[in-house]
Structure 1
Amino acid sequence: MVLLGTIVNGAAIVVGTLVGTVSSRIPERMKTTIMQGLALVVAVIGLQMAMKSEQFLIVIGSLVLGGMLGEYWNLEGKLNQLGKWIEMKTGAASEGSVAQGFVTATLVYVVGAMAILGALDSGLRNDHSILFTKSLIDGFTAIMFTATLGYGVLFSAIPVMIYQGIIALFASQINQFVPQSLLDAFIAEVTSAGGIMILAIGLNLLGIIKIRVANFLPALLIAAFLVTCVYLVQTNFL
C-alpha cells in the first residue's frame, strides 16, 4: 500500500497530540524549559540539514526568490488565517494558541528531507521504513509541541498527509522521467533550503527573532527549478 507510511505518520501526530493534551497540566516554568530545549534541537537539526548543500548559490537564490514570492502571496498570513479559522470553529480558549501550534508544527513536519525521501521510497519501492521512523519522531515532537503550544498541532496532520501522499502517488512517474543524478541533486539542495527554514523555526521558538518562515516555502520549488536548470546546462541539453 503506497500510502501506508503517510497514514501512519498522520496517525502518529494525532496520537502524540492526544498524549500532549494530557501533559498540558505541566507547570509553566517547566513548559518554558521544555520548549527551549525543543527549540535548540530543532535549530541544530536545521543547521545539519543546511550543510547538505553541494551548490550553496542555488540555496541562496532559492531563498531570495522564494522569500519574495512568499511575501507577495503572504503565505504566512494565509496559514495564520487558516489557524485562526480553526480556532473559531473549535472555540479555542486562548486566542492565537491554535494558530501558532498549527503553523509551527506544519512547517517542522513538512519542511525536511525525511518527508520527501520517505514519500519517494513509499511510492517507488513500497518501502515505508523512513516514514515509520519519521512517525516516531513526529509523534514524540507532537507531545512536546502540544504541551507547550496547544492542540493546534493536531491539525498539522492534514497538510502532512496531503503533501507526503501527493509525492508518494506521483513517485513512479518521477522515477520514469527524472534521472537519478538530478533527483539526488534536487534532494540535496531542497534539504539544505528546508534546513535553513527549520533553523529559523528554532530561532522563532527561542524568541530570539520573529521570522515569517512560511513565506520562504516557495524556495523549495525554486530550488528544484534551479537544480534542473543547472543539470540541463551541465549535460549540454541547453
Structure 2
Amino acid sequence: MALYGTIINGVLIIIGSLFGLLFTKIPERYKETVMQGIGLAVMIIGVQMALSTELIIIVLLSLLTGAILGELLNLEVRLNSLGTWIGSKFTTKSSDFSVSQGFVTASLIFVIGAMSVIGALDSGIRGDHEVLITKGILDGFVALVLTTTLGFGVILSVIPVVLYQGSIALLATQIEQILPESFLNGMITELTAVGGVLILAIGFNLLKITSIRIGNLLPAIITVGFIYYIYQLF
C-alpha cells in the first residue's frame, strides 16, 4: 500500500506529541533551555540541508518568487488563523505558546526535507516504506520535545504531514512515466536546500533572534520545481 509509510509516520508523530503533553508542566526555566537547545539543533539541520544545493541561483530565485507570492497571499496570517481555528476545536485553554505557533513550526520541521520527499517517492514507486518509517521514529522524538514547549499545536502538524507525503506517494505511482529519474534527483536536491533555508529561519525565530515571516516564504517550496524545470530547458 502506497500510503503505509505515511500512516506510520503520522501515528508516530501523534504518539510522540501525546507523551510530550505529559511533560508540559515542567518549570519555565527548563522549557526555555529546552527551546534554546531545539533552536540550535534546528539551525544545524537547516544549514546541512541548505548546503546540499548544487545551484544556488535556483535557491535564491525560489526564495524570491516564493516571498512575493507569500506576501501577496498573506500566507503567514492565514496559516496562523488556520492553526488557531483547528486548535479551538480541540482545546479551550491558552498556553505559553499559541496553538498556531506549535502547528506551523512543527509542520515545517516535519514536512520540509529530503526524507519527506524521498520517502514518499520510495513508497509510491517501489513500495519501500523504510525511509518514512525511519523518519517517523525521528519525528516522534522531535514531536515529544516540541510539545513540551510549544504545546498542543504540535500534534495538529500530523494533518499537513499526511496530506503532503500521502499526495506525493500517490502521485509517485505514476510519476516515473512523466518525469525522468535524473530530473527528480536534481529537483529533490534543490528542494532540500530551499527547505533548509526555511528550517534555518525557524531556528532563528525559536531563539528569538529574528521574527521572520516563514509562512510567507513557503511558496518557495513549490516555485523551486518550476524554476528548476525552466533551468533544465536552457
Cα-to-partner distance string for 1:6-64 (whole Å, 9 max, x where unaligned): 00111011101100000112211111111111111110000000011111001000000
Find the aligned partners of 2:150 and 2:46 in 1 and give their Cα distance: 20
Q: Which residue of 2 aligns with 1:185?
A: 186
User: In structure 1, the residue corresponding to 2:2 is in which secondary structure?
Assistant: coil
Q: Which residue of 2 aligns with 1:53?
A: 53
Deviation at 1:94, TM superposition (A): 2.9
Find the aligned partners of 2:176 and 2:27 in 1 and give their Cα distance: 50
Find the aligned partners of 2:74 and 2:139 in 1 and give their Cα distance: 27
Q: Which residue of 2 aligns with 1:155?
A: 156
Q: Which residue of 2 aligns with 1:19?
A: 19
C-alpha spacing 1:87/1:96, structure 2 compared with 1 (3 Å) = farther
Amino acid at match of 2:160: P
Q: Which residue of 2 aligns with 1:62?
A: 62
Give the TM-score normalised by structure 2: 0.97
Indicate conservation of the 8 Å contact 1:92/1:98, yes or no: no
215-224 or 141-150, which moves further after superposition?
Answer: 215-224
Q: Which residue of 2 aligns with 1:236?
A: none
Find the aligned partners of 2:2 and 2:108 in 1 and give their Cα distance: 23
Q: Which residue of 1 aligns with 2:210?
A: 209
Q: Which residue of 2 aligns with 1:111?
A: 112
Give the TM-score normalised by structure 1: 0.95
Aligned residues: 233
Find the aligned partners of 2:113 and 2:204 in 1 and give their Cα distance: 17
Q: Which residue of 2 aligns with 1:91?
A: 92
Amino acid at match of 2:111: V
Find the aligned partners of 2:151 and 2:75 in 1 and give their Cα distance: 22
Indicate conservation of the 8 Å contact 1:203/1:209, yes or no: yes
Matched-pair identity in %: 52
Deviation at 1:76, TM superposition (A): 1.0
Indicate conservation of the 8 Å contact 1:84/1:96, yes or no: no
Indicate conservation of the 8 Å contact 1:107/1:214, yes or no: no
Amino acid at match of 2:226: F
Indicate conservation of the 8 Å contact 1:87/1:95, yes or no: no
Indicate conservation of the 8 Å contact 1:109/1:160, yes or no: yes
Amino acid at match of 2:13: I
Q: Which residue of 2 aligns with 1:35?
A: 35
Deviation at 1:96, TM superposition (A): 5.5
C-alpha spacing 1:31/1:95, structure 2 compared with 1 (3 Å) = closer
Indicate conservation of the 8 Å contact 1:50/1:195, yes or no: yes
Indicate whether 1:128 and 2:107 are aligned.
Answer: no
RMSD: 1.1
User: In structure 1, the residue corresponding to 2:93 is in which secondary structure?
Assistant: coil
Find the aligned partners of 2:222 and 2:98 in 1 and give their Cα distance: 29
Find the aligned partners of 2:203 and 2:96 in 1 and give their Cα distance: 22
Find the aligned partners of 2:223 and 2:104 in 1 and give their Cα distance: 22
Unaligned runs of 5+ in 1: 234-238
Q: Which residue of 2 aligns with 1:100?
A: 101
Find the aligned partners of 2:93 and 2:118 in 1 and give their Cα distance: 35
Amino acid at match of 2:124: G
Unaligned runs of 5+ in 2: none
Indicate whether 1:77 and 2:58 are aligned.
Answer: no
